[in-house]
């Protein structure tokens, strides 16, 4: 416990303590040994003195002893009174009896009764005693006894002890003074170092340096400490700058993140706006197409009727005018259809209605339909149907439309030339393909123009539009259709010599899910009934103009027409009248065309009646899937509709059930329009 | 060393010793002449004779007895086997006359008191220690004289006579002796 307290003393005190203890220990040892030596040697000299004295007294008393002179012997002994330390003395005769004696006044010790047989000096009970044989001329005459209390020795010892204590006190004080002065040599640098260390650790100030005093081990320690401090300072500075940099980087990052967030929000906003705009555009297009087709229907339909009436009355000079109205209307209609097709493709809403058909037959029909157009520019058409083409599975309407476009273009840009169409079945990448090549000897297309040929609204030259007319959409739509069916269209042309367009389609086009289009609701309900006849045709359409037109030209063609203004009415009439054929509009208020179709097909009595969808909404696939017999897009070509009704009427009679529907989709144009 | 001690002893002795009229403490227990024989022997120890007193370094000390012999065999018995400085003792009976010169110690018995002057005349100047037991023996020219007091044997010493005989007496002996004054001794001179 005490040692522990000593161990925890400050280095200053420790140094002083060590110095003091060392010097005091050395002092004590030295003094003690000196004292001991001195006292021992003093005792030696004392005993030697006593022995000498004893010898002298013995010598002096020898004669007295010899001549038995007691008085003289006593006088001799009594002379010892002058010696303070001698307490007793005695002379023994040869017979051992005391002959003469001397005892100091205050002495309490008794004289020995018999002297020992031999001489000697010895200490006994704090006294120094000497026995000395007395002889005269070599002949023993007795023994002398002298006793000393060594008062000289003890007083000397006391004096020495006192001196030593004083000496040690003075030396100790001197040592203390020196130690307290000199300990600074060691403790001062250490204390300063400790101060510096505390300053560093408390204030975190790495710029201070410990002061170096001397070039000893502590100096080296301080050097090392300073070096470490410098290192720490350097690291601290580096760390701080790194921190600052990190902070600024973090700030940069944060600002960047917030900027990006803002940008993201703006983007999201823009996307929302864009989506809204897109929806608005789609809705607008749908509305517009409806709104545009409806008047066009009326224009084309009434102009045809007027033409017939004019021919009936014989005013032929007016026929050309009316035909021009029809032509203009049809061109406009084609334009609208193209735009609608393109917007549908872009919206990804263009579906495929896949069916197997005889390719050769389809080509023949198309070629014969094209004969008038080819003849117009004094061209010839050559068909090359190599080998057995067999059946093809694709969306026949779209294939037909593509070929129609390609042939129209060939006719349009060729005069007095030859147009050839070559169809062949090939195999590529383990797949069957049908290759359609349409070649002409027309004006050709430059390489520069070939690059943007399939872009929307891109005709080879702006001047072409003026000279040849057309929307520039035909090739773009054809290209898209080909892609939709997994195929492609390419062009190879020499300017001035002619062009070759090659359509490549898979023989078996992969099915793609088609989605029905949700029709919008319209008001207007009206029922129009014709006179009951044998071949009753039920016309269901909410547009009174359509009902009127259809009723008039179907009546002319010899049918009995009953018209209904909405779905409910149509269904009732169908049940009551059991018509031969039903024409059905899609977009109607209340139950739309799809709903009516579904209910007709669900009713076992009515399911057998052929339904021809006559609508502005171009979704033949959905219609045919729901069980419609045919699909026509408004404005309806009278002849096509009449022809279709004629055919379905026969089917109904022969089968009287829902057979495999004859899917004949006819383009709304009678003549190829400019595309 | 020894000399220093000796001087110191002398000094102490001189300083401490008061001229003593020492009285023999011990009683004359055996007989008077036994003591006198012992004293005579011890006197020999404390005397120093000149070299010429002895013919040879180891010549014995010759004790001559003049007069009727009171010792009997006592003196011889005491001296048997004793020696002083390598010298043994020889005891002779002498007669008055020239043969008195042939000794080193001349013991003059009480019977010869009448012939003292003659005796001193014969030995004058010779290194012979004369010992007597007659009253005034020392005053008349003898060197040592036994005196009987209270049954104790004491002795007187005539220092002048000893000087004349060229015999040195140890101071230790002198401290125990009664010294006879000079003038009395001179008076004895012829």
User: Which DSSP string corresponds to A278-317?
Assistant: HHHHHHHHHHHHHHHHHHHHHHHHHHHHHHHHHHHHT-GG
Tens-place pLDDT, residues A13-37: 888 888 888 888 888 898 888 888 9
- A63 vs B173: CB contact, 8 Å cut-off? yes
- A55 vs B5: CB contact, 8 Å cut-off? yes
Which residues of chain B lie closer than 8 angstroms to A62, CB-CB?
172
Which member of A72, A136, A139 has the closest CB to residue B20?
A: A72
Write out residues 132-171 of B within 8 Å (CB-CB) of A.
Answer: 170
Q: Cα dist. A281→A293, A294, A351, A656 in Å?
A: 17, 19, 20, 45
The residue whose two tokens read 């600052």 is A244
pLDDT band per the 50, 70, 90 thresholds, residue A1 = low
- A56 vs B173: CB contact, 8 Å cut-off? no
Which residues of chain B lie closer than 8 angstroms to A64, CB-CB?
22, 175-176
Among chain B residues, CA nearest to A57: B9
DSSP string, chain B: -HHHHHHHHHHHHHHH---------S---S-HHHHHHHHHHHHHHTEE--GGGSSSTTPPEEEEEESS-SSTTHHHHHHTT--BTTB-EEEEEE-SSGGGGS-SEEEE-GGGGGGHHHHHHHHTTS--EEEE-STTTTTTT-SEEEEEETTEEEEEE-HHHHHHTT-EEPHHHHHHSEEPPHHHHHHT--
Euclidean distance between CA atoms B117 and B120, whole angstroms = 5
| Residues 6 or more apart whose Cβ sits within 8 Å of residue A581 | A537, A538, A609, A610, A611, A612, A645, A648, A649, A652
Tens-place pLDDT, residues A546-561: 888 888 888 877 788 8
Which member of B5, B20, B176 has the closest CB to residue A52?
A: B5
pLDDT band per the 50, 70, 90 thresholds, residue A484 = confident
Would you say A38 and B145 are in contact if contact means Cβ atoms under 8 Å apart? no
Residue A362: name the closest of A434, A428, A410 by CA.
A434
Query: Exposed (0-12), middle (13-18) or buried (19+): which is A136, by Cβ within 10 Å?
Result: buried
Over 60: is that where the pLDDT of A109 sits? yes
The whole-angstrom distance between B48's CA and the closest CA on chain A is 12
Half-sphere exposure for A599 (CA within 13 Å, toward CB): 15
- A72 vs B84: CB contact, 8 Å cut-off? no
- B25 vs A62: CB contact, 8 Å cut-off? no
Write out residues 65-84 of B within 8 Å (CB-CB) of A.
Answer: 84
- B172 vs A60: CB contact, 8 Å cut-off? yes
Percent of chain B with pLDDT over 70: 79
The whole-angstrom distance between A50's CA and the closest CA on chain B is 13
The residue whose two tokens read 């609508």 is A615
Residue A464 pLDDT: 60
Would you say A87 and B41 are in contact if contact means Cβ atoms under 8 Å apart? no
Radius of gyration of chain B (CA): 16
User: Residues A482, A488, A492, CA angle at the centre, nearest 5°?
Assistant: 125
The whole-angstrom distance between A70's CA and the closest CA on chain B is 5
- A69 vs B13: CB contact, 8 Å cut-off? no
The whole-angstrom distance between B170's CA and the closest CA on chain A is 10
User: Which is more confidently placed, B111 or B189?
Assistant: B111
Over 70: is that where the pLDDT of A472 sits? no
Over 60: is that where the pLDDT of A527 sits? no
Residue A311 pLDDT: 83
**Is A68 an interface residue toward B (CB < 8 Å)?**
yes
Tens-place pLDDT, residues A260-285: 999 999 999 999 998 888 778 777 77
**Is B174 an interface residue toward A (CB < 8 Å)?**
no
Over 60: is that where the pLDDT of B12 sits? no
Among chain A residues, CA nearest to B40: A67
Q: What is the mean pLDDT of residues B138-156?
A: 89
Tens-place pLDDT, residues A226-259: 999 899 989 989 999 999 999 999 999 999 999 9
**Is A79 an interface residue toward B (CB < 8 Å)?**
yes
**Is B14 an interface residue toward A (CB < 8 Å)?**
no
The residue whose two tokens read 């005695």 is A90
pLDDT band per the 50, 70, 90 thresholds, residue B17 = very low
Mean pLDDT of chain B: 79
- B25 vs A68: CB contact, 8 Å cut-off? yes
Which residues of chain A lie closer than 8 angstroms to B34, CB-CB?
none
**Is A98 an interface residue toward B (CB < 8 Å)?**
no
Tens-place pLDDT, residues A79-100: 888 888 888 899 988 888 888 8
The whole-angstrom distance between A183's CA and the closest CA on chain B is 57
As beta bridge partners, residue A575 has: none
User: Which is more confidently placed, A671 or B141?
Assistant: B141
Q: Cα dist. A494→A446, A475, A497 in Å?
A: 7, 18, 5
Which member of B5, B15, B176 has the closest CB to residue A69?
A: B176
The whole-angstrom distance between A58's CA and the closest CA on chain B is 10
- B39 vs A67: CB contact, 8 Å cut-off? yes
Which member of A52, A55, A64 has the closest CB to residue B176?
A: A64
Euclidean distance between CA atoms A550 and A615, whole angstroms = 13
Interface test with B, best of A54, A57, A64, A66 (most B CBs within 10 A): A66
The whole-angstrom distance between B122's CA and the closest CA on chain A is 30
Q: Which of A181-185, A529-533, A540-544, B117-121 has the lowest mean pLDDT?
A: A529-533
Over 70: is that where the pLDDT of A374 sits? yes
- B12 vs A68: CB contact, 8 Å cut-off? no
- B24 vs A55: CB contact, 8 Å cut-off? no
**Is B45 an interface residue toward A (CB < 8 Å)?**
yes
Which residues of chain A lie closer than 8 angstroms to B20, CB-CB?
71-72, 75
Residue B24 pLDDT: 36
Over 80: is that where the pLDDT of A467 sits? no
**Is A139 an interface residue toward B (CB < 8 Å)?**
yes
- A68 vs B39: CB contact, 8 Å cut-off? no
Highest mean pLDDT among A207-216, A515-524, B162-171 belongs to B162-171
Which member of B24, B26, B172 has the closest CB to residue A63?
A: B172
Would you say A481 and A402 are in contact if contact means Cβ atoms under 8 Å apart? yes
- A63 vs B24: CB contact, 8 Å cut-off? no
Residue A465 pLDDT: 54
Percent of chain B with pLDDT over 90: 25
Euclidean distance between CA atoms A567 and A540, whole angstroms = 7
Complex ipTM: 0.71
* Chain A, chain B: beta-carbon pairs less than 8 Å apart: 67
**Is A136 an interface residue toward B (CB < 8 Å)?**
yes
Tens-place pLDDT, residues A417-455: 889 999 988 888 888 899 999 999 888 888 877 877 777
Among chain A residues, CA nearest to B155: A67
* Element holding A65 (H helix, E strand): helix A11-66
Q: What is the mean pLDDT of residues B93-122?
A: 88
Among chain B residues, CA nearest to A78: B16
Q: What is the mean pLDDT of residues B142-159?
A: 89
**Is A191 an interface residue toward B (CB < 8 Å)?**
no
Residue B26: name the closest of A666, A69, A87 by CA.
A69
Among chain A residues, CA nearest to B174: A63
**Is A49 an interface residue toward B (CB < 8 Å)?**
no
Residue B15 pLDDT: 40
Q: What is the pTM of this model?
A: 0.42
User: Which is more confidently placed, A251 or A298?
Assistant: A251
Would you say B33 and A57 are in contact if contact means Cβ atoms under 8 Å apart? no
Among chain B residues, CA nearest to A66: B42
Residue B91 pLDDT: 92
As beta bridge partners, residue A529 has: A562
**Is B39 an interface residue toward A (CB < 8 Å)?**
yes
Which tokens go with A670? 């009678």
Residue A551 pLDDT: 83
- A76 vs B17: CB contact, 8 Å cut-off? yes
Residue A531 pLDDT: 40
Euclidean distance between CA atoms A400 and A666, whole angstroms = 9
Interface test with A, best of B3, B46, B151 (most A CBs within 10 A): B46
Mean pLDDT of chain A: 81
């Amino acid at each position: 416990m005490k040692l522990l307290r000593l161990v925890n003393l400050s280095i200053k005190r420790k140094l002083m303590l060590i110095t003091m203890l060392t010097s005091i220990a050395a002092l004590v040892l030295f003094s003690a040994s000196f004292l001991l030596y001195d006292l021992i040697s003093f005792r030696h000299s004392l005993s030697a003195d006593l022995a000498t004295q004893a010898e002298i007294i013995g010598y002096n008393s020898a004669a007295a002893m010899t001549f038995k002179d007691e008085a003289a012997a006593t006088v001799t002994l009594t002379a010892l009174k002058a010696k303070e330390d001698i307490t007793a003395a005695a002379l023994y005769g040869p017979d051992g009896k005391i002959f003469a004696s001397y005892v100091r006044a205050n002495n309490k010790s008794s004289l020995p009764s018999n002297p020992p047989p031999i001489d000697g000096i010895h200490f006994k009970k704090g006294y120094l005693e000497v026995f000395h044989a007395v002889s005269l001329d070599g002949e023993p005459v007795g023994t002398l006894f002298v006793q000393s209390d060594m008062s000289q020795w003890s007083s000397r010892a006391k004096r020495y002890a006192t001196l030593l204590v004083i000496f040690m006190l003075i030396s100790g004080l001197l040592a203390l003074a020196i130690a307290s002065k000199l300990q600074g040599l060691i403790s001062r640098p250490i204390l300063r170092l400790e101060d510096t260390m505390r300053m560093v650790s408390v204030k975190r100030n790495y710029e201070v340096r410990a002061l170096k005093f001397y070039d000893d081990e502590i100096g080296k320690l301080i050097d090392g400490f300073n070096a470490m401090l410098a290192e720490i300072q350097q690291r601290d500075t580096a760390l701080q700058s790194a921190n600052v940099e990190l902070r600024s980087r973090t700030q940069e990052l944060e600002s960047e993140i917030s900027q990006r967030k803002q940008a993201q929000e703006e983007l999201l906003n823009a996307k929302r706006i864009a989506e809204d705009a897109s929806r608005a555009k789609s809705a607008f297009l749908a509305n517009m197409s409806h709104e545009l087709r409806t008047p066009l229907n009326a224009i084309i339909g009434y102009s045809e009727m007027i033409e017939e009436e004019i021919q009936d009355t014989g005013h032929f000079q007016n026929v050309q005018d009316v035909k021009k109205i029809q032509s203009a209307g049809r061109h406009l209609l084609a334009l609208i259809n193209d735009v609608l097709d393109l917007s549908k493709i872009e919206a990804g809403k263009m579906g495929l209605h896949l069916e197997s058909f005889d390719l050769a037959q389809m080509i023949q029909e198309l070629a014969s339909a094209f004969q008038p157009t080819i003849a117009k520019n004094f061209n010839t058409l050559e068909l090359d149907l190599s080998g057995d083409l067999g059946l093809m599975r694709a969306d026949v309407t779209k294939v037909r439309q593509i070929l129609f476009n390609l042939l129209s273009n060939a006719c349009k840009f060729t005069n007095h030339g030859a147009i050839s169409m070559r169809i062949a079945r090939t195999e590529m990448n383990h797949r069957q393909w049908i290759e359609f090549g349409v070649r002409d000897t027309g004006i050709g297309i430059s390489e520069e123009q070939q690059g943007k040929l399939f872009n929307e609204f891109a005709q080879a030259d702006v001047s072409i539009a003026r000279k040849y007319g057309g929307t520039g959409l035909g090739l773009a739509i054809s290209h898209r259709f080909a892609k939709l069916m997994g195929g492609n269209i390419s062009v190879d042309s020499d300017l001035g010599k002619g062009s070759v367009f090659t359509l490549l389609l898979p023989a078996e086009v992969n099915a793609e899910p088609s989605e029905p289009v949700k029709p919008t609701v319209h008001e207007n309900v009206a029922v129009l009934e014709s006179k009951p006849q044998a071949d009753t045709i039920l016309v269901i359409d909410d547009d009174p103009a359509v009902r009127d037109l259809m009723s008039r030209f179907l009546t002319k063609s010899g049918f009995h027409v009953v018209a209904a203004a909405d779905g409910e009415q149509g269904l009732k009439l169908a049940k009551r009248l059991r018509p031969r054929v039903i024409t059905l509009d899609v977009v109607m208020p209340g139950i739309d065309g799809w709903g009516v179709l579904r209910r007709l097909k669900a009713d076992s009595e009515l399911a057998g009646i052929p339904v021809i969808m006559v609508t502005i909404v171009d979704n033949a696939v959905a219609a045919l899937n729901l069980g419609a017999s045919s699909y026509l897009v408004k404005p309806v070509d009278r002849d096509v509709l009449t022809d279709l009704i004629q055919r379905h009427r026969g089917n109904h009679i022969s089968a009287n059930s829902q057979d495999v529907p004859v899917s004949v989709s006819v383009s709304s144009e009678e003549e190829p329009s400019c595309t | 060393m020894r000399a220093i001690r000796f001087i110191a002893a002398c000094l102490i002795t001189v300083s401490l010793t008061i001229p003593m009229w020492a009285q023999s403490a011990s009683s004359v227990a055996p007989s008077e002449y036994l003591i006198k024989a012992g004293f005579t022997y011890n006197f020999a120890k404390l005397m120093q004779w000149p070299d010429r007193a002895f013919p040879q370094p180891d010549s014995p000390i010759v004790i001559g007895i003049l007069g009727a012999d009171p010792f009997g065999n006592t003196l011889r018995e005491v001296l048997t086997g004793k020696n002083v400085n390598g010298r043994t003792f020889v005891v002779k009976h002498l007669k008055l006359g020239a043969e008195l010169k042939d000794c080193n110690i001349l013991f003059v018995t009480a019977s010869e008191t009448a012939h003292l002057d003659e005796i001193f005349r014969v030995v004058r100047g010779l290194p012979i220690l004369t010992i007597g037991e007659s009253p005034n023996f020392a005053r008349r020219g003898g060197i040592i004289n036994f005196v009987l007091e209270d049954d104790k044997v004491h002795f007187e010493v005539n220092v002048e006579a000893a000087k004349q005989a060229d015999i040195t007496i140890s101071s230790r002996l002198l401290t125990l002796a009664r010294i006879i004054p000079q003038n009395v001794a001179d008076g004895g001179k012829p």
